[in-house]
Structure 1
Amino acid sequence: MSTRARPAETPCSTAPSHTAAYQLPSDQRSVGRARQMLRHQLQSWHVDSELDYMAELLLSELVTNAVNAQAAAAEEVGVRITLSASCLRLEVRDTSDELPVMNQAEEDEECGRGLVLVDALASGWGVDQDGIGKVVWAELAVSDASAPRPPLSAPHRP
């Protein structure tokens, strides 16, 4: 784990209620595709509120960093989304063993604020290395207002 990573104060419950995983090309176009897949997934899980907006922002930063870290354009980036009763966990896998670095970007710089944003918005984040590469993850706490809701059904008529 990077020395700047911040573990979640309340870790996600170990029993996820929903999980989705995707493989995307290691290409900048995959950032938008990852956001689109996340939006669709959260919609299908009936997640409301600002959770989806913050999750999109965090996932964009994590996928951008993973694509930039890859050694070869032919490699893929893995995305895993897990929703439990207590949190939404976003994981992005790449094959680079280089740990992400939280930069202090200058005011006029266009890049370098991604992990600062992740650190500010996420309940916690970190890096897990596995000898093949790494998984950078971020968690968002799920409040009652953003918890998954059952789909609305038509009223039962006798």
Structure 2
Amino acid sequence: MRWSRHPRCVSLARAELRTALAGWGLLVLEEAAVLVLSELLTNAGQHARVSPGREIETRFRPVGDGVRIEVHDASTVLPEERRPEYDECGGRGLILVDALTDCWGYGERSGPGKMVWAELRAGSG
């Protein structure tokens, strides 16, 4: 699916992920998976400053007893986990992604920019 940087697209993408998880029999992952997607997609919308018409793309696929979530954007700026001060309002998204997933990372994609991915497994945790 392709999305604009508009914040309302995050809830639409979460609905698509919920549908996919239900179809794969992976609703046990729903709560964590939609939070991870929300963080990755919000990061792309906030930090991927790209020219108009360069949508953000999400891809979901089952992997064993889990799911792989990918967020593609046209920005070359790589994600960086921060350690915010206690009283800062933001900067904890990738800390949450790291805590909720079995693994996550980023890499090249076909076309300009990068792909940030995360995998969650039903048998973990």
After alignment, is 94-103 or 81-90 more displaced? 81-90
Paired with 1:59 and 1:48, the residues of 2 have a C-alpha distance of 15
Task: Compute the RMSD of aligned alpha carbons.
Answer: 1.7
Residues 1:59 and 2:37 are matched in the alignment = yes
Partner of 1:134: 114
Answer whether contact 1:28 1:64 (CA < 8 A) is retained.
Answer: yes
Give a deviation string over 1:97-143, Cα, whole Å, max 9, x none.
Answer: 00011111122222100001111111000111246100000001132
Highest CA radius of gyration, 1 or 2? 1
Partner of 2:82: 103
Answer whether contact 2:108 2:114 (CA < 8 A) is retained.
Answer: yes
Q: How many residues of Structure 1 are paired with residues of Structure 2 in the alignment?
A: 122
Determine which structure has greater relative contact order: mean sequence separation of CA pairs < 8 Å that are 6+ residues apart, divided by chain length.
1
TM-score relative to the length of structure 1? 0.71
- Is the alpha carbon distance of 1:87 and 1:45 closer, same or farther for their aligned partners in structure 2, counting shifts above 3 Å? closer
Percent identity between matched residues is 41
Decide which structure has greater helix share.
2
Residues 1:90 and 2:90 are matched in the alignment = no
- Segments of structure 1 that go 5 or more residues without pairing to the other structure are 1-21, 145-158
